[in-house]
Chains A and B, each alone.
Chain A
Amino acid sequence: MAMSDDAGDDVAIGNETDSKGRLLTSDGRPLRAALERANRRRKLTAFGLVTPLLAFIVIFFAYPIVQMMWRSVDNPAVIEALPRTLDALQDWDGEELPSEDVYRALYEDMMADEELPRIEQKIGPLAVRLNYEVSAARGAISRTSRNVDEFEPPYKEAFMDAHRLWNDTEIWRIIEREGRPLTASYYVAAVDAEYNADNEIVRADENRRIYVSLFGRTFAMSIVITFMTFALGFPIAYYLSSLPMSKANLLMIAVLLPFWTSLLVRTSAWIVLLQGQGVINDSLVGLGLIGDDDRLSMIYNQTGTIIAMTHILLPFMVLPLYSVMKTIPPSYARAARSLGATPFTAFRRVYFPQTLPGIAAGGVLVFIISIGYYITPALVGGQDGRMISNEIARHIQSSLNWGLAAALGTMLLVSVLILYWLFNKLVGTDSLKFG
Chain B
Amino acid sequence: MSASGTDDGFVVFDKVQKSYDGETLVVKDLNLSVGKGEFLTMLGPSGSGKTTCLMMLAGFETATNGEILLDGKPINSVPPHKRGIGMVFQNYALFPHMTVGENLGFPLEVRGMGKSDRETKIKRALDMVQMGDFINRRPAQLSGGQQQRIALARALVFEPELVLMDEPLGALDKQLREHMQFEITRLAHDLGITTVYVTHDQTEALTMSDNVAVFDDGRIQQLDPPDVLYEAPKNSFVAQFIGENNTLDGVVKEIKGEHCVVQLDGGELIDAKPVNVSNVGERTRVSIRPERVEANKSRLAEDAHTIKAKVLEFIYMGDVFRTRLKVAGNENFIMKTRNAPDQVRHKPGDMIEIGWMPTDCRALDFG
Contacts and interface: CB of A to CB of B under 8 A. Distances in A.
- Asked if A and B bind, the verdict is yes
Interface of A: 329, 331-332, 334-343, 345-346, 349-350, 353-354, 356
B93 A340 contact: no
Nearest to B154: A339
19 contacts: A329-B93, A331-B89, A334-B80, A334-B93, A336-B95, A337-B60, A337-B79, A338-B80, A338-B86, A338-B155, A339-B81, A339-B158, A340-B110, A340-B111, A345-B110, A346-B81, A349-B110, A350-B106, A354-B97
Q: Interface on chain A toward B: helix, strand, loop, or mixed SS?
A: helix
B267 to A, nearest CB: 55
B233 interface: no
Contacts of B59: 337-338
B81 A338 contact: yes
Given A331-B91, A338-B86, A354 B81 contact: no
Given A332-B95, A334-B80, A340 B89 contact: no
B91 A329 contact: yes
Contacts of B221: none
A350 to B, nearest CB: 5
Contact of A331 (B79, B82, B93, B111): B93
B157 to A, nearest CB: 9
Contacts of A340: 81-82, 84, 107, 110-111, 158
Contact of A354 (B82, B96, B158): B96
Contacts of A342: 81, 110
Contacts of B81: 337-343, 346
A338 B87 CA distance: 6
Given A334-B89, A339-B106, A350 B111 contact: no
B21 to A, nearest CB: 14
Contacts of B107: 339-341
B150 to A, nearest CB: 12
Interface in B71-107: 79-87, 89-91, 93-97, 106-107
Contacts of A334: 58, 60, 80, 87, 89, 93
B33 to A, nearest CB: 22
Contacts of A338: 58-59, 80-81, 83, 85-87, 155, 164
Nearest to A329: B91
Q: Which 10 A-B pairs have the closest CB atoms?
A: A339-B107, A335-B93, A338-B87, A331-B93, A337-B80, A341-B110, A353-B97, A337-B81, A340-B110, A331-B89
Contacts of A336: 95, 106
Contacts of B90: 331
- Residue from A335, A337, A339, A349 having most chain B Cβ neighbours under 10 A: A339
A339 B110 contact: yes
Interface residues of B, number: 28
A100 to B, nearest CB: 79
A324 B82 CA distance: 30
Given A339-B86, A341-B110, A349-B110, 18 more contacts: A329-B91, A331-B89, A331-B93, A334-B93, A335-B94, A336-B106, A337-B79, A338-B58, A338-B59, A338-B80, A338-B87, A339-B81, A339-B106, A340-B81, A340-B82, A340-B111, A341-B106, A342-B81
Contacts of B111: 340
B329 to A, nearest CB: 47
Q: Which of A331, A335, A345 has the most CB of B within 10 A?
A: A335
Nearest to B83: A338
A332 B93 contact: yes
Interface in B155-195: 155, 158, 164
Contacts of A349: 106, 110
Nearest to A357: B97
A353 B219 CA distance: 41
Contacts of B86: 338-339
Interface string B221-251: 0000000000000000000000000000000
A344 B60 CA distance: 16
A408 B85 CA distance: 62
A334 B151 CA distance: 13
A217 B60 CA distance: 49
A343 B110 CA distance: 12
A354 B84 CA distance: 25
B158 A335 contact: no
Contacts of A341: 81, 106-107, 110
A342 B155 CA distance: 17
A336 B81 CA distance: 8
A350 B89 contact: no
B88 to A, nearest CB: 9
Nearest to A331: B93
A343 B80 CA distance: 9
A337 B95 CA distance: 12
Nearest to A332: B93
Nearest to B109: A349
Contacts of A343: 79, 81
B126 to A, nearest CB: 16
A420 B170 CA distance: 43
A354 B96 CA distance: 8
A433 to B, nearest CB: 13
Contacts of A345: 110
Contacts of B94: 335
A338 B83 CA distance: 8
Contacts of B95: 332, 335-336, 350, 354
A340 B113 CA distance: 12
Contacts of B87: 334-335, 338-339
Nearest to A334: B60
Nearest to B84: A340
A337 B83 CA distance: 10
Central interface residue in B59, B87, B93, B158, by most chain A CB within 10 Å: B93
Contacts of A354: 95-97
A345 B107 CA distance: 11
B197 to A, nearest CB: 15
Contacts of B97: 353-354, 356
